[in-house]
A and B are shown apart, each in its own frame.
Chain A
Amino acid sequence: MRTRKVKWIVIWAVLIVGGAGLVAWDLASFPEYFYERSSRVPFNHEKHAEALGLDCSKCHVGAEAGIRATMPSKADCMDCHNLPLTESEGIERLDKALLNAPDAPFVFTSLLPSNVVFPHGLHVKSGVSCETCHGSAKEIDAGRRPQVRMQDCLACHQGKLGFPKASTDCARCHR
């Protein structure tokens, strides 16, 4: 009877200590859990794109005709937001966040390796929508980032995904 009790104490101790250790380890490895939860209000893609009907390229200039899609600066936001857009009063928290936002645009770190060029405009022209790689506005808000491997590029370029065939020459995309 006594050994049985000791056994359970050992199991619970291992579970609790181990669990706490894992959480501590995780927080130490990914410290952004602590400090990246700032007062900044994340941009709501769903509201702007789907509810207001804005095109991606309205803010991400170049997404439909350029090589790279760019990030907007605060001035781009203010083009609309300095106008009285609706009758209703603004939400204080959002107004404050916009007021305190830095002027400079984001330096966007692409997941695409720097030795590959992905011409956004050319893909939009051949009928590939933004959603094909980036997902819906809802998914983007949830933090989805397109993670495309070369075999995904090639599958489409070889005509396996329903789009017309495209070049598979190395030097077209690699530089």
Chain B
Amino acid sequence: MKISRASFLKLLAGAMAAVSLFGCRKGKPLPRNKHAKSLNKPDKNLWQKEIDEARLLKPRPEPLAPVPRPGAHPKFRNGNIRFGMAIDLDICDGCGKCALACMLENNVPRVTSEDAKKGRYMHWLELRGKMPVMCAHCGNAPCEKVCPTGAAVASPDGFSSMVYPRCIGTRFCGANCPLHARKFNYADSLTLGLAAKFNPEVPLRPQGVMEKCSLCIQRLQNARIQAKTFGTEWLGKNVFPACAEACPKGAILFGNWLDPESELVRKTQNRGIYAPKSVAKFLPAVVYLRGKA
């Protein structure tokens, strides 16, 4: 069969039109609404077991150095909120209930056995010796300075926040954190069955994303939203992160460093305020209490 040039072009144009029409089909289908099904609850003991495993790896507590009382965040001098925490090492006996509460609250994944051998545990709050250590929420944070995408960013509420979708996984922040408080998702923990959504308020982090203690930002956000919806003034009162809530001895104090009436400020009066030596000069908001000032 012989086709003239004109009809070949016509056929070609028709084929192109068909292809472009094919591209106009509707895209990804919307999620369907389903009726609830009961799901198998994940076993919390697996998480407890991992915490016990991880504490054997780090038997020495962080060396401490005295620091002044945390004040306004250096980037937000005019703010009236600087969230922070004080852990009373005179009361704390290192039971580890805070670590489990943290993992369950923030849907922290477990790690594969290869990663565990390398000490790549994801625990946002880990026990070094008997001392609970988490992100210090430095005012002058070394991690925020090296993030190329602005995923690690200071919040005007005085803590260091993390925007997961922005993180491209360079791990610069983890390398620059002297406290090693940042954890990297090496494995796709959800597919491997190592992650579980204990708390629907907190998203699961995908593979290749850095994460760390967020001071239970979901609780802070929800409390602020509630206060604003009902029109009451809110200076970070009556909201506690999971670790502080779980501590049986009340050794973890949480509050607003800039509110003189907060429990945190009142109970840290006349106490020796310390921070891990490695981050002591970066104006941390998470500090340790020991002895009298």
Contact = CB atoms under 8 A, between A and B. Distances in A.
Interface residues of A, number: 42
B40 interface: no
A145 B34 contact: no
A3 B26 contact: no
A136 B124 CA distance: 44
A67 B33 contact: no
B42 interface: no
Interface in B17-59: 18, 21-22, 25-26, 29-37
Given A26-B25, A122-B225, A122-B228, A174 B161 contact: yes
Interface stretch (A53-61, A109-117, A151-159): A109-117
Contacts of B113: none
Contacts of A173: 221
Contact of B203 (A18, A29, A36, A175): A175
A3 B1 contact: yes
Contacts of B214: 175
Contacts of B15: 14
B155 A107 contact: no
Given A170-B163, A175-B221, A105 B202 contact: no
A168 B159 CA distance: 16
Contacts of B163: 115, 170, 174
A169 interface: yes
Contact of B157 (A32, A36, A105, A171): A171
Contact of A113 (B21, B36, B155, B165): B165
Interface in A20-36: 22, 26, 29-30, 32, 36
B1 A171 contact: no
Interface of A: 3, 6-7, 10-11, 14-15, 18, 22, 26, 29-30, 32, 36, 65, 67, 71, 102, 104-109, 111, 113-115, 117, 119, 121-122, 125, 143, 145, 169-175
Q: Considering the complex of A and B, which 8 residue pairs feature the smallest CB-CB distances, nearest first?
A: A109-B31, A171-B161, A171-B155, A114-B203, A115-B203, A121-B229, A119-B225, A106-B33
